[in-house]
Amino acid sequence: MKKIPSFTIDHNRLVRGIYVSRQDNVGDDMVTTFDVRMKEPNREPALGQGALHTIEHLAATYLRNHPTWADKIIYWGPMGCLTGNYLLVKGNLTSADILPLMIETFSFIANYEGEIPGASAKDCGNYLLQDLPMARWEANKYLTEVLDVATEQNLVYPQ
């Protein structure tokens, strides 16, 4: 069976950042999939499940309610390897295009206080798997160590 493109990326060289993972034509629209990589694969501990689940709830809610981007957001969700998230956005976009949006999103998560949106038995299939303190910590770490210092050079996949 042929390997899919995301399994051909050298994860031994992949660093934290925002990468265009793929672009697909869907009808008349281009959909850009971003790899929002929060951890270096196989070199640092993965995100905790509760923290990642909380990041998912907060980021998805924030993005789908964003005054400028809401109509372009298709999906935000965690990677199975627990090292980051995927963001699918309508449009032919680059990492630099969404960098300000990601700074806003991770700032929102890092500073979030209150009840986690959708964290009830009625609204979520695993509502007890939440960890707001660690989600805030991980978001702040990503924000200060990656997003605040991002440049074009670290927003592309290593060759």
> What residue has token string 């929002």?
36
> pLDDT band at residue 3, thresholds of 50, 70 and 90?
confident
In a domain? residue 138: yes
38 closest CA partner among 88, 78, 4, 7? 78
Q: Rounded to two decimals, what is the model's pTM?
A: 0.91
**DSSP three-state, residue 74:** strand
> Could you report the per-residue pLDDT of 58-102, keeping only the tens digit for each?
999 999 999 999 999 999 999 999 999 999 999 999 998 999 999
Question: Kind and range of the H or E element at 84?
Answer: strand 84-90
- The total number of structural domains in the chain stands at 1
In a domain? residue 158: no
In a domain? residue 82: yes
Residue numbers of the domain that contains 86: 5-153
In a domain? residue 78: yes
CATH number at 79 reads 3.30.1360.80
